[in-house]
Amino acid sequence: MMSTNSIIKLLFIPALISLMLFTACGDDKEAAKSMEQIQEEEGIPVQIETVNYQPFQKYQSYFSKLAGIKEATKGAPLGGKIARINFRVGDYVKEDQIVMEFPQDQPGAMYDQAKAAYDNSEKTYQRMKTLLAAGETSQANFDGVEAQYIVNKRNYEAARKLIFIEAPFNGTVVDVKVKEGDNVKSEASLFTVAQLNKMRAKIWITEREIGEIKRGMTASINFGGKEYRGKIVEVSMSVDPYKQAFYAEVEFDNSRNELKSGVTVEVKTLVYENPQAVIVSRNLVMNDENGQYVFVENNGVAEMRYISNGNDSGIYYEVSKGLNVGDKLITRGVAQLTDGVKVNVIQ
């Protein structure tokens, strides 16, 4: 049989537990209420920065392939087998040096016949020239021989160009598209020669952007972890019918031969700069039916300021009106703010 003390303990313990639970719930409600009171009394916590003049730059970016300032690709004048390749990629060649050769007995070229006719007519021409000087032949005879010699020489030179493919100008072989023994079709690309002391990139510009692009503007690229600066040297005056865009040529110095032909680069063109601008990060700018606005801290409250934007860099706005040097721009806690709400500036 349970004692009186045991019965009292059994009744007291549940009552004590209920009292503790009730007290804990009351504390939670009081704590939540206190947080609201703190925010109302002390203000919404925010961070600010003082507005100062800062440099502002706006770039337009385009992707393009680099090419030598002068570049040409030679094609096969007729189909056939590549007999010999005399230069490789990276070799320097002079104008008219033979880079590739087709077989001299190529039927389509008739090189052997043309060379034989030229050799014979040259000997006859030289002989008749001597006879004319000695007065042993007439001018009419010499003129006939000379005319035939000129025709045979031109035929030989034309046939020779079908067999021996020459460099179009002094430069570097930047691409070889065939190997010795390959059979190629007429007009197939064989090799490319470029002058690489300067490089160019052609960029394509929309109708909306063309008004910002001017000859002489600075442009830059990054290649191999290094920045290279150049200038816009040419801007088209009309839209390309196929691209439906304008083009501009950007030129870069390559006297150290560090830039490579054919690589794709991002060309950044500086289209606008202001060394003393009032700027604001785009993520701080909000919109309503009246326009764009930011918040500034003014005597402990958040003040809504409508702003007018000048240029847009993609990250920052250049503010032309509505924000002044010395204003305390709110940079953190903006999402909770309304016009006139009390704020608490924290560091």
Rounded to an integer, the average pLDDT of 59-84 is: 94
Q: For residue range 24-60, what is the model confidence (pLDDT) as tens digits? A: 454 454 444 555 666 667 788 999 999 999 999 999 9
Same domain, 317 and 219: no
pLDDT band (50, 70, 90) for residue 249: very high
Pair (87, 148) in one structural domain: yes
Residue 126 lies in a domain: yes
What is residue 22's predicted lDDT score, i.e. its pLDDT? 46
CATH number reported for the structural domain that contains residue 245 in this entry: 2.40.30.170
The answer to the question of residue 241 being in a domain is yes
- Tens of pLDDT, residue by residue over 151-162, are 999 999 999 999
Q: Are residues 161 and 236 in the same domain?
A: no
The verdict on 107 and 120 lying in the same domain is yes
Domain C-terminal end among 229, 256, 274: 274
Identity of the amino acid at 296: V
Identify whether 249 is part of a domain.
yes
Say yes or no: 205 and 173 in one domain: no
Q: Which of 193, 187, 165 is closest to 88 using CA atoms?
A: 193
Classify residue 60: in a domain, yes or no.
no
Look at residue 32 and tell me if it is in a domain: no
In the structure encoding, which two tokens stand for residue 261, read together?
A: 């032909």
Specify the CATH number for the domain of residue 180.
Answer: 1.10.287.470
| Residue 180 and residue 217 share a domain | no
Same domain, 128 and 207: no
Structural domains of the chain, count: 3
Boundary residue ending a domain (228, 255, 274): 274
pLDDT band at 314 (very low <50, low <70, confident <90, very high): confident
Residue 321 lies inside a defined structural domain of this protein: yes
Confidence of residue 109 (pLDDT cuts 50, 70, 90): confident
Q: Among the three residues 173, 189, 205, which one is the final residue of a domain in this structure? A: 189
Buried b (16+ CB within 10 A) or exposed e, 135-157: eebeeeebeebbeebeebbebbe
Query: Which residues is 52 bridged to in the sheet?
Result: none
Does one domain contain both 240 and 300? no
Look at the chain and count its residues.
Answer: 347
Q: Give the domain range for residue 133.
A: 74-189
pLDDT computed for residue 178 by the predictor: 96
Ranges 77-81, 177-181, 182-186, 309-313: which has the least confidence: 309-313
My answer on whether 102 and 183 are in the same domain is yes
Give me the CATH number covering residue 340.
Answer: 2.40.420.20
Cα separation of 317 and 310, whole Å?
7
pLDDT of residue 7: 44
Residue 262 covered by a domain: yes
Report pLDDT digits (tens) over 191-200: 999 999 999 9
Burial of 220 (0-12, 13-18, 19+ CB in 10 A): middle
Q: Does a structural domain hold residue 147?
A: yes
